Amino acid sequence: MGGKRPIRVLQVCTIFLTAQTFIAPVLRYLSGRGYEAAVACSQESAADGPVSPGSRNIEGCQVFSVAIPRTIRPLQDLPAIRQLCRVIREFKPDVIHTQTSKAGIVGRLAARLAGVPVIIHTAHAFPFHAYLPWPVQWAYIWIERWVAGWTDLIMVDTESVRMDGLRQRIVQDASRIVTVPMGVDLTRFSPSLGGPGTLRDALGLGRQALVVGTVARLVPDKGLECFLRMAAIIRAERADVKFLIVGEGPLRQSLEQMAELIGIGPDVVFAGHRTDIPELMQAMDLFVLPTRREGFGVVFAEAMAMGKATVGSDIGPIAEVLEDGVTGYLAPADNPEAFAARTLELLNDNAKRRTFGEAGRRRVEQLFSQSRMCELIEGHYRRLLAQKGFVL
């Protein structure tokens, strides 16, 4: 890499699950390229995706424990900033790259105070959105504008999110927000996996049923009430369809109760938090998620990588991943009738499902591979470091 030591990159996020799921591939890529890469995050577990205590490490990278709350808590935020400043003094990063809104505020403030040369933030989705009251939206907009002043570059996952940032004037210079699509591990998410029969048996789905599945945190933004209403419409027309919901979260009990109340309880399997997502997707005939809000929709890209046709909400980020009429269908969010119509169309047409699935795999290989994501991120690191006078 040149110089007396390798370039050091410190990623910052709130919880280890984020580091393990989204940041680890970048850290491993950077380590393989000669960087010293590390992550700072809380050891707190997410309610919708627990991680076992024994798995809190990333091979080849340092993991610093910094208790960053996921919500605004001033009495805990100030100690988190001080703790992160200590980590920065110890690790001496040349680049700090924050991920998620809360870590973006804490991390960028600490980086600014510690004089880190390059400060980057990834906004997977800006915290202001249409489902919030206007006073709350404006508070978030003001905060994002404020911390953007300390930031050399903001990365976003989709052009739709980039336009949200520009529309609200988060930065004055449009070149300071760039789109870097999230990437999928094409080896792990591969349609060449073995048949789904045994797993279907274990889940109680049976081998003859058609399975409409989804993977999501069980939270309001994911539109799972719409998914269940769609399921009831489909079951009224086809008795050979089962539904699989993979994920955990605070809505699980109410969703299970809703399934029973609308008469589809025996036909819906709640699988909870799982780590075998590719195998579960292989067990699906069709992937459907009526999400109301996303920054990218990586789960759609993962399903497409598995060769599955998909049905998703007609919102900006999803429309950039799922190609309507080519890899699947878009339907209006919160519209179970429209989702049911598109899902039934694909359930009734095996050839179209297969064609869409094959097209989806090709699209992910071309646009949403993990290797492409890592190369783009490193390219921005090197460009900004060169601007700061680093010899690379």
Domain ranges of the chain: 8-183+369-387, 197-367
Model pLDDT, residue 68: 85
Domain 8-183+369-387 has CATH 3.40.50.2300: no
pTM as predicted? 0.89
Q: What is the chain's pLDDT, residue by residue, as a tens digit (392 residues)?
A: 445 789 999 999 988 888 888 899 999 999 999 999 999 988 766 544 554 445 567 777 889 989 887 777 767 788 999 999 999 999 999 999 999 888 999 999 999 999 999 999 999 888 877 777 888 888 888 999 999 999 999 999 999 999 999 999 999 899 999 999 999 999 999 987 566 778 888 999 988 899 999 999 999 999 999 999 999 999 999 999 999 999 999 999 999 999 999 999 999 999 999 989 999 999 999 999 999 988 889 999 999 999 999 999 999 899 999 999 999 999 999 999 999 999 999 999 999 999 999 999 999 999 999 999 999 999 999 999 999 988 87
Model pLDDT, residue 1: 47
User: Which option is the CATH number for 197-367: 3.20.20.150, 2.40.30.160, 3.40.50.2000, 1.10.8.10?
Assistant: 3.40.50.2000
SS (HEC) of the chain:
CCCCCCCEEEEEEEEHHHHHHHHHHHHHHHHHCCCEEEEEEECCCECCECCCHHHCCECCEEEEECCCCCCCCHHHHHHHHHHHHHHHHHHCCCEEEEECHHHHHHHHHHHHHHCCCEEEEEECCCCCCCCCCHHHHHHHHHHHHHHHCCCCEEEECCHHHHHHHHHCCCCCCHHHEEECCCCECCCCCCCCCCCCHHHHHHHCCCCCCEEEEEECCCCHHHCHHHHHHHHHHHHHHCCCEEEEEECCCCCHHHHHHHHHHCCCHHHEEEEECCCCHHHHHHCCCEEEECCCCCCCCHHHHHHHHCCCCEEEECCHHHHHHCCECCCEEEECCCCHHHHHHHHHHHHCCHHHHHHHHHHHHHHHHHHCEHHHHHHHHHHHHHHHHHHCCCCC
Model pLDDT, residue 52: 47
